[in-house]
Structure 1
């Protein structure tokens, strides 16, 4: 990957809220490992991933011919999600079945989120979880050093390349 908006990765994780799960979908630009889209829902379905994708498309200025890589989860194999990709002129790529490390940058981001930020006991309220995870995304993009970027943040790496 030699520039922004060539390859995006997507995945879904879950965060404990009370006695339930809050699902968090994220889209990462592989160039500088910047999170460019995200969404939350109490249901892990194609609506969740489509919303994160739409946010990425909007924030990145409607780029064309981006390769979107994900696992083979039902959210990404659904007609709804595939149609959303086509609608925005994006191409789809998927990991081999059962091979989570084919999408290692997303696994790394979610691992960092959970080990560095999310309380082990989770959150009491959904709105607290949403706000706190969004704070992490902002911190991750703007100020968190990333080894892949020679210890520059994703935003700093993209500025350097511009």
Structure 2
């Protein structure tokens, strides 16, 4: 086990600042070049417990309960900061491989290039590598050389410009030799040869208060008003700033019975849309599993209105196809058709309002016997 790195108080304070802004531990580690996530979690725990005085304690030093350091030498503190800054400035970020295993060959080359600037002990401490491990790597002459399989995988990744994941690389390899996809995946992850095309989505912070089953189950027809409603949020990236549209559709006639346009898609945004609904009974409201819909406040308001909630399965927008189709039509028949790409905010908002009025009152639909939603509702009444 390697020795720990001494971080200056400025870094610890920055960690708290980034944590409060909503960044994840992993993102903070990459941003501030911190290798061990335990350190970030420890500083965050100290902050939450009101023990920020512990940020000044040396590595391995434990203070008595509710007591800080009796004395911290200014010279000693400057030495810690100096050493940390030197390490961060002198060592290229591409070599640090934050959060990943350090490649022996790369580390040996780094120690050689840093000779006379940073000692082997300091480098081993920074990367949390025991000195004995470094010297064992140094004696091994074949360390860092790629195997025949690794060379084949590297060649295929380069030839295809990192467009393929491990499954496709495995398929190409199996034309000549039999190899397990797990082996290929492990090697590609080891050398960071993964597919560069599709970037992984960031995981949303927090846990949903409540996720319910899909009670609508794609039965997009209704025999009476306010029996089945669907809701969703869509982006409106057509103006000088990003806007969002939250809307609720009645599946009885496809009419948009509530909508809201705002600059933030937070819980208040969708609650304002929900408040536009009249008092209803025996009503089913369907949405996706967005964080605003699974939140405590939204679920409580739905219960207060005596509405039964239904939710799409994860990654299945077709479970809410009707409202998705409306949002697509709105954009296609206005912004895309008229090439409105950078309009004033007032124009974007008015365009949406005008289209919803047009959609409800004028735009005919085949499934409604070529009537508009409001015309159809009035004809049935």
TM-score, with normalisation over the residues of structure 2?
0.40
SS of residue matched to 1:20: coil
RCO higher in 1 or 2 (8 Å CA, sep ≥ 6)?
1
User: SS where residue 323 of structure 2 aligns?
Assistant: helix
Correspondence 1:137 to 2:356: yes
Q: What are the equivalent positions in structure 2 for 1:1-150 lying under 5 Å apart?
A: 1-55=222-276, 57=277, 61-118=278-335, 119-150=338-369
Alignment CA distance shift 1:123-1:149 (3 Å): farther
CA deviations 1:43-66 (Å, max 9, x no partner) are 1112111111111x1xxx311221
| Alignment partners' CA distance in 2, 1:120 and 1:15 | 13
Q: CA RMSD in A?
A: 1.4
| TM-fit CA distance, 1:38 | 0.3
Query: Counterparts of 1:145 and 1:41 in 2: how far apart (Å)?
Result: 28
Where does structure 1 differ by over 4 angstroms across 4 or more consecutive aligned residues? none
Indicate the larger mover: 138-147 or 16-25: 16-25
Aligned counterparts of 1:123 and 1:49: Cα–Cα separation in 2: 26
SS at match of 1:134: helix
1:1-40 per-residue CA deviation (whole Å, 9 max, x = no partner) reads: 1111101100000112434310000000011000000001
Q: CA deviation at 1:125?
A: 2.0
CA contact (8 A) 1:95 1:103 kept: yes
User: Which one has a larger percent strand, Structure 1 or Structure 2?
Assistant: 1
Q: What secondary structure does 1:77 align onto?
A: coil
Structure 1: 5+ residue stretches without partners: none
Give yes or no for contact 2:232–2:288 (8 Å, CA) kept in 1. yes
Q: Distance in 2 between matches of 1:122 and 1:155?
A: 31
State whether residues 240 and 344 of structure 2, in contact with CA within 8 Å, keep that contact through their aligned partners in structure 1. no
Asked if the contact 1:9/1:27 (under 8 Å) is kept, the reply is: yes
Question: What is the match of residue 160 of structure 1?
Answer: 379
Of stretches 22-31 and 38-47 in structure 1, the one that deviates more from structure 2 is 38-47
Unaligned runs of 5+ in 2: 1-221
Aligned 8 A contact 2:240 2:345 in 1: no
What is the CA–CA distance in structure 2 between the aligned matches of 1:26 and 1:125, rounded to whole Å?
A: 22
> Quick check: 134-143 or 148-157, which moved more?
148-157
Please give the alpha-carbon distance, in whole angstroms, between the structure 2 residues aligned to 1:123 and 1:27: 27
**Count of residue pairs the alignment pairs up:** 158
TM-score, length basis structure 1? 0.91
The CA deviation at 1:146 is 1.2
Larger radius of gyration: 2
